[in-house]
Structure 1
């Protein structure tokens, strides 16, 4: 919001601020007026209720018999009923009162709700069915009813029932002893009250808006007159920003705006004098920088020639130094390498001797291993042949068991026939029947045993076949191991011969390396002396070349600074020339 206002003109900003202030004032005044009107209306309702309650209390002689009749469950007398009806209808003739009624002091409760009973109601409230029916009271009206029976009177908070939204005035009706026997009540239609106050509020807001519009309409011309000198100051400031320093602002008053105009005129005068001085200084600086540049250019050319000659000498010396250092480094590295070769040759010679010993020992172990593998092969072959013979024996036993099983079956059959014949012989064949039964049982057990033995032999035959194949495989692998062991023995013997030859050659290389190491150390010492001499010469040449380069760089910097100074003076002169003084 504030950023948006900053982008607006002073007149627009002032108008917006004044409008907002007027709207805030109108809103505050309307709220105060609404609350004041509401309080006045409530006060008016309460005063009216007090007056009508006094009128009701004056007719206690008519109301008391009605209250006694309702409390005792008897019908209300017609005479008293008609009098109170006219009295209540007269109260509702006032536009602000909607309903008027008398409550009995009797109350009941049904399903958690409170019920009140009418003594009499105005015609605006309803007919006889409303009078005789119990009135279901909400919490607000019931609590207000209890306060009235306690001797208090006043307006209730707005509440809603089946008939509408109301503000109710309740007050106790006292007998001659000062005891409450009934409650007097009048209803004010809350919607009508709100509508009347809203209408008054709208009128007040409308009047306030009209007054604000008139005030703003008067203030805008006055603001325009007040800020007109500021507009002149702004226009002249734009001319000055564009380069016109001849403009001035007329001073018409002595307020803050007039003081700002005087300060602006003084600033323009100071800028005019400053611009003239800058133009003169820029021309003088341009001429001086041009002379300085020419002198620096000539000096730079002479220094450049000297520098080139010295650099050629320095380059040659440095090349010689680098070559000497490279030779020295190479010889040093060669000497170190020869020394390492000699050391490595000694280590290799020792390793070759150890390897020859290990190769001889390995050959012996391979020969022993070959013999053991050959003996293992013979044992495996023998075991495989034994397993084959065992398998054949198992097959023969199986054949024999088959015959035994057949014999047992036939014996069982003969025993069965013998039992049948013994049964035919009667008592003389009983002993023979017992013998035949026992023979049949023995034959049955023989058959079962032969079957179990056949199963066991079948399992043995299966395992024997598997073991036989495994032994044959092991025999084949043993033969391969024997062949490989024989080849390994030949390889170890070849390795032993080769290692002995390597050991002899390594010893010869070690002796030659020691001789080369001594020679390379002498050459490295000579190259080191040459490098020291070349380094001294190169150092002097580099110092002279560096001094010449520094002098050349200084001269070039002076020339560059002179050129920059001339350029800046030209730019300054161009920038100042756009100002009209």
Structure 2
């Protein structure tokens, strides 16, 4: 099976884009143009849609205004379009003249009245046509929708053999309130697609002009930039090959001109640097030999000093061990004392908290006692109010008894009046009716009085229950006050005991703090002595290590100097690669 090969043309195009800055510039500008054209297209679509919606709204407003004017006229005249039976009808002539006037005044296409009253869809009145009555005309879906919904209905923009239109339909009713047809108005809507077409082609022209100008600008701009860049590339290739003799000149005032000037300055500085390196490497090679001999002698002396410092360091280390053991013992005692002090401090804080809680409890008990006094006063007021309510209920019961007696007397009077009216005969019939109504009213008053009596009796029973409950509540409040007084005395005893214990803990804490400070001073002193001794030991060790490192460094320096001498020779050979003036 053979391996698939890549497309040569695709690789060539990618290589051209990758290896040429002009290709990247042209592609970037073209991409920007594409985005700009896309933005123009989106803007065109949005503008066209918004303008179309605004135009349709204006058409709907014109149609609504015209058909409302037409409907107002039809409602103001005595003739009804449903009564029109031919072109000779007076109502037909009057209505058609008005429709023709609306057509001219509002600049409309057609104004008409259609009917389907007899099951036949036909024209009743149509502007611009003489023999219009009775002509068959099939109702559109929008017309049927207007009749079904009994609402004014707008059609969408539609096209037929006569042009592009937008219509409005309004259901019409006969004298019995039954819908017999519709009133309709057509308006020329050709301006909407014409406007959309104009905006589309205008956008196409703008996009085409932008593309042509953008491509031309991209080509010219890339050409003006790549020419001097190519010259600079050739000059840098010569410098890379070691030729520093040729100067690069570019007569431009922009960034490329600045780059060319900087390149010439770099070439000159590089040429000067090559001269300096060539002369300095010769001097450095001679000096390196002398330094190498001196470093060997210094290394031998440093080794003897390092041996002496090691002996001194061993004696100091023994002193450090002894001081460290003493310091550890003192630190352990100090730590135990710190633990005791910490526990006493915690105990003191706890005592303070207990004292604070007991004080807060005492305050809370006093507030509770005060609130119990308020509750007792309110219970007394409630007891007085309940007693007064019972007294008022008894008074109301007495009033209801009087009302019941009056209703009974009124009922008897109404009965007597009915009897007297019956004796009078026909002349007393009206008075008998009034007497009957008075009797009904007296009976209703008696029933209401009985209901109120039952309600008052129930209220009196509830009042007695409330009085008993309030009395029990008052007794409970008095017992609560006694208990709270005893609780307040207990809190005072607790608070005094806690305060005394807190004072004793405070004295113990002060003694422990003084002892702790003394141990801290001793510990600090021992640690300082130990630290100083350790620093001396470390200092001796560092001196010995530094001397050994110095000896090793001197040997490394000697080796480095030998390497530098060799590198100076190699550098001298490398400088010979460059061609300088």
| TM bin (shorter chain) | 0.3 to 0.5
Q: TM-score, normalised by structure 1?
A: 0.37
Q: TM-score, normalised by structure 2?
A: 0.37
Greater C-alpha Rg: 1
